[in-house]
Structure 1
């Protein structure tokens, strides 16, 4: 029997109240993320913030990595001062997710960065971010939920192979974006206003600025799960460099 690939998803560490419990620290993630992985054929494995030194060890249990959306990355990671609209409130998560990304890139583990996750991927490769978009209304949803806008996949890219349409309508909620592109990355989609909406690197290394977990189009996730199956088989046959001893 073929076992489903294990897909790790990063999570929030925040204050929460549930059932009869008073406010306390909790690990949280929208249920749409694991549901998206499960529907696409994978097993969802949640990754709460941990010591960055443990990132390579954590990845030995995984066949692919999803870095989820969330608050702004602290601009110190790309040598910038905070913009008045920057909301960097997750220092443990910043350090943990960047360590996971560095380890995943070194190991050639299939990975997908979603919104914040795409921005972290760019910074992990030495890029920088626009801390607040001039035309943010197109990209930022309302208090009632996510917005939608069109993105244009770049022909010849991995993303265009997954989304071959000239334009795709996507769920969106962000106010920051890629500025200087990180080393080894290629832009693979733009918004109509020129904002970078997807980046990719070698193998299955993909970041999307939108939120596929909020929609019904699972092609990006299905492709990640497929890449995870192939990567696991290659690693077991010795073709891939081990993640850790």
Structure 2
């Protein structure tokens, strides 16, 4: 039996510096979809809706949730002075905030990736800061997203380390903001080796809520330890489904 996993999508307004000018889009990178399929899960794209009142109807049909990263970004364009997601992508944030809160309250397993991790952190009251340079966005250097570029240090007592092991490993990096303060009920459990920036968070309570600043959906084919993350996520989704019967 395969669980049904919701996958959030990026929203733009079709502005001149968006992916397809004059064509407002909802979209997501296929890596998320392929990772779920290859780990025996059924992905379901969750559109950004103007009416958050429909959130319960969607959640009834889902067993798990993936909070995805951001969309197309002109890397030559300076970052906004604001570090708050609710101010730099307000419509997407408003919808995902309601969706995330409802999913967590229900006990549904949630995995946040890149912007998705930052989303979890901000919704729970945490803060972000802009990085002073682009050292943590490898595409600025012309490096493909599936290429690991820096070391990761794990808290050996964390659930994440329990899942994938605590041996040294390398991860990819596609972000220009980083968590400066974790939200209520969350704790940092992994850091970039060289500069100790927060690379993963998880719930301090007994719930399946994990955020990763990097992209495991692009890493598991070359680093099989990341498949160890998707398997317990699937198991948690099936357990959640059974608990709702």
Range into which the TM-score falls when normalised by the shorter chain: 0.7 to 0.9
Residues 77-116 of structure 1 mapped to structure 2, 5 A cutoff? 83=81, 89-116=88-115
- CA drift of 1:23 comes to 5.3
How far apart in 2 are the matches of 1:117 and 1:173?
Answer: 13
Match of 1:141 in 2: 138
3-state SS of paired residue (1:142): helix
Given that 1:190 and 1:197 are in contact with CA atoms closer than 8 Å, whether structure 2 keeps it comes out as yes
3-state SS of paired residue (1:156): coil
Cα deviation, 1:137-177, whole Å, max 9, x if unaligned, reads 1x211243336211111111110011213322112100111
CA gap 1:218/1:4 in 2 versus in 1, 3 angstroms: same
- CA drift of 1:135 comes to 5.8
Given that 1:198 and 1:207 are in contact with CA atoms closer than 8 Å, whether structure 2 keeps it comes out as yes
Q: CA RMSD in A?
A: 2.3
Match of 1:214 in 2: 218
Structure 2 unmatched ranges of 5 or more: 73-79, 221-225
How far apart in 2 are the matches of 1:109 and 1:115?
Answer: 20
Cα deviation, 1:181-220, whole Å, max 9, x if unaligned, reads 1111121111111111111113110000001121123222
CA gap 1:141/1:85 in 2 versus in 1, 3 angstroms: farther
Match of 1:62 in 2: 62
3-state SS of paired residue (1:62): coil
Deviation larger for 139-148 or 160-169: 139-148
Given that 2:28 and 2:71 are in contact with CA atoms closer than 8 Å, whether structure 1 keeps it comes out as no
Deviation larger for 94-103 or 49-58: 49-58
Given that 1:53 and 1:99 are in contact with CA atoms closer than 8 Å, whether structure 2 keeps it comes out as no
Given that 2:11 and 2:71 are in contact with CA atoms closer than 8 Å, whether structure 1 keeps it comes out as no
Match of 2:170 in 1: 169
How far apart in 1 are the matches of 2:177 and 2:124?
Answer: 17
3-state SS of paired residue (1:113): strand
Residues 148-159 of structure 1 mapped to structure 2, 5 A cutoff? 148-159=149-160
How far apart in 2 are the matches of 1:218 and 1:177?
Answer: 25
User: Residue 230 of structure 1: which of 230, 234, 239 is its match?
Assistant: 239
How far apart in 2 are the matches of 1:68 and 1:224?
Answer: 15
Match of 2:77 in 1: none
3-state SS of paired residue (2:184): coil
Match of 1:11 in 2: 9
Cα deviation, 1:15-61, whole Å, max 9, x if unaligned, reads 465xxxx9522321111111111111100000010123322332111
3-state SS of paired residue (1:218): helix
Match of 1:126 in 2: 125
CA gap 1:166/1:134 in 2 versus in 1, 3 angstroms: farther
Structure 1 unmatched ranges of 5 or more: 73-81, 237-245
How far apart in 1 are the matches of 2:81 and 2:164?
Answer: 34
